[in-house]
Chains A and B, each alone.
Chain A
Amino acid sequence: MAKLWSFCKRFYLAILLVFIYLPILMLMIFSFNEGKSMTKWTGFTFDWYEKLFTNPLILESIWVTLSIAVISSLVATVVGTLAAIGINDFKKWKKNMVLNLTQIPMMNADIVTGISLLLFFIFTKIPRGYVTMLISHIVFNIPYVIFSVMPRLKGMDKNLYEAALDMGATPAYAIRKVIVPQLMPGIVSGFIMAFTMSFDDFVISFFSSQGVVSNLSIYIYSMAKVGINPEINALSTIMFLCVITLLIVINVRAERQQAERNGKIPAKTPKTKRAR
C-alpha cells in the first residue's frame, strides 16, 4: 500500500514534467524535420541549423536581444547597487517611499509599464527604436537588482565603511574595496535575474519600441501569426542546450563552494523570476 502510494506520487510528478517538457521536445524534434510542418514528420535534416546562421532577420533580432540584455543588465547592476547602498542610509519613511516606488515596475502589469513608457516617449518626442527599448529594459531591470542587494546590506556591519573612511579611503574606494565584495552574491543574483528578465521580455519591448526594432520575442510573435519558421525551432534548441549547460556549470560550482565552506551558513537562494 505504502509502496503504491509512493509510486503514485512519483507518477504524478512525472506527468507534470511531461506536461512541461512536451512542447519543448516538440520544438527540438521538429527542428530536424525536413518539411516546414510542425505536425508531420517528413525526414531528417540539419538544414534549418544552417539556414539559421544565414537569416539576416533572425541574426539581427538575436543581436538586439543579446546586446540589450547585456547592456541593460550591466547598467541596472551598477545603478541599482549604488542606489541600494544609498537608500539603505535613508531615514525610515524616505526609504519606504523610495522602495515602494521602486516596486512599481515589478508589480504593475507589463502592459501598463509598456504603455506608460510609450506615452512618455511619444510625449517627449524621443524616436522609438533601439534606444527606447534599451531605456525600458533598464527601467524594469533596476528593481530586481535593488531588491536582491538590499537584504545583503541589512546584515552588514556599518562600521566597516566608516573605518575605511577613517583610514583615509575615499568614499568610492571604500565602496569598491569594502562594501561591494560583501554584497557580491546579491549583486550577482540581481544581475542574473535582470539578464533573464530582459532576455525573455516581450510586452514591454513591443510597446516601447513600437515595432521599429525586433528582439527575439517580437520576431517570434510576428512569425507566429503566419506560421513559425523551423529555423526558430533550431534556434530554440540551441538556446535550450546553452541554458542547460550553463545551469549545470553553475550548480556544480555552487555545490563545490558549498562543500568548501561546509558548516557555514548556506548562501541565500536567489529569488525567482517574475511572471510575465
Chain B
Amino acid sequence: MNKKKAFAVPYIVWMIIFTVVPLFLILFYAFIHRTDSGSLVFTTEYIKSALSGSSMSVLILSLEYALITTVICLVLAYPAALFLWQLKSRIGSIVNLLFMLPMWMNFLLRTYAWRALLDANVPINQFLQWLGLPAMQLLYTEGAVIFGLVYNFLPFMLLPIYTAFTKIDRSYIQAAEDLGANKWQTLTHVILPLTKPGIITGITMVFMPAVTSFVISRLLGGSQTMMFDDLLENQFMLLKDWNTGSALAVIMMVLMLISMALVRKTDDDSMPGGGI
C-alpha cells in the first residue's frame, strides 16, 4: 500500500488545532456562562442579548447595505463583463486585468483616498458646483459607505461574471441568431442562463464580505454609521466582553451558512456543468 495519506497528517493536526478548536471556543463562549462560584452553565442569554433591539437594528442595517451594494455591483458589472467579452479577446483580457490590478493595492489606502475625494470642499463638490448643482455633504453619509463598498467589491463581481462569459461557446450565439432570435432574446435566453454560475459566484463574493467590512464604514461613514462588525469589534477590543462578542460571531456564522445554503440551492437548480 502507498503511504500518501500520511502526508496529510501534519495539516489535519494543524487544522484541528487552529480552525476547529477556535470555532468551538466561540460556541463555548457564546453559550456557556461561568457563574460566580466558578461552575459552568448553559445559557442562551448572550445570544438573546446579541439579537436584542439595538444590535438587531445594526445587523439589519448591515444586511441592507450589503444587499444594496450587491445589487449595484451586479448592475454595474454585468454590462461591463458583456462589453469586455464583445471586445477582441486579447484586448478584453487586458482590460479585465486593468480592472483587477487595483486589488493588489491595499484597500485601506484606496478607501482613504476616496475620503479625500469626497471631502466637502474638494474635487467632486467643485465639479458639482461647476455643473450648477449645490454642494453636498458627501463624506460621513450612508451614501459614502455604500459608495465605498461598491468601489471595493466591484472587481469581485466583475471577475467571475467575465470568466463565465469567456467560457461561452460563441457558436451558441450564432445558432440563436440563425434561428431568428433578436439581440434581446439572445441575451435573455442564451447569454444570461449561460453566465448564471458567474453571477452566483459574484454575489457570494460580494454579499457576505460586504456585511462584514467595518473598516470601510469606519473610514467613510464616520461614527454615525455603526455596522455589525463595528459592534463586534467594540465587544472584543474595547469592552473585552467575550461572551456577547462570541454570540455576535455565532450569528454571523449562521448568516454565512444560510447564504451558502441558498447559493448551493440555486447552483443545483441551474444547469449541470455550471459553476466556476
Interface members, chain A 95-110 (any B CB < 8 Å): 98, 101-102, 104-105, 107-110
Q: CB within 8 A of A23: which of B5, B113, B208?
A: B113
B105 contact set on A, CB distance < 8 A: 24, 236, 239-240, 243
Number of A residues contacting the other chain (C-beta, 8 Å)?
Answer: 81
B117 touches A86 (CB 8 A): no
Stretch from B46-54, B184-192, B209-217 that touches the partner: B209-217
Q: A27-B113, A89-B4, A119-B25 are in contact. Are A111 and B252 (CB under 8 A)?
A: yes
Is A93 interfacial (CB-CB < 8 Å)?
no
A109 touches B97 (CB 8 A): no
B22 contact set on A, CB distance < 8 A: 116-117, 119-120
Stretch from B129-137, B168-176, B241-249 that touches the partner: B241-249
B260 contact set on A, CB distance < 8 A: 107
B213 contact set on A, CB distance < 8 A: 276
B173-207 interface mask toward A, CB cutoff 8 Å, 1 = contact, 0 = none?
Answer: 00000000000000000000000000000000110
B19 touches A105 (CB 8 A): yes
A1-17 interface mask toward B, CB cutoff 8 Å, 1 = contact, 0 = none?
Answer: 00000000110110011
B68-110 interface mask toward A, CB cutoff 8 Å, 1 = contact, 0 = none?
Answer: 0000000010011001101000000001011111111111111
Interface members, chain A 236-256 (any B CB < 8 Å): 236, 239-240, 243-244, 247, 251
Is A90 interfacial (CB-CB < 8 Å)?
yes
Q: CB within 8 A of B76: which of A16, A98, A120, A123?
A: A16
Instruction: Tell me the bound Cα distance from A88 to B2 in angstroms.
Output: 12
A220 touches B229 (CB 8 A): no
B83 touches A116 (CB 8 A): no
B residues at A contact (CB < 8 Å):
2-12, 14-15, 18-23, 25-26, 29, 76, 79-80, 83-84, 86, 95, 97-117, 119, 121-123, 151-156, 159-160, 163, 205-206, 208-215, 219, 229, 232-233, 236, 242, 245-246, 249, 252-253, 256, 260
A residues at B contact (CB < 8 Å):
9-10, 12-13, 16-17, 19-24, 26-27, 30, 38-39, 79-80, 82-83, 85-90, 98, 101-102, 104-105, 107-112, 115-120, 122-123, 135, 138-139, 142, 146, 161-162, 165, 171, 175, 196, 200, 202-203, 207, 216-217, 220-221, 224, 228, 232, 236, 239-240, 243-244, 247, 251, 269, 272-276
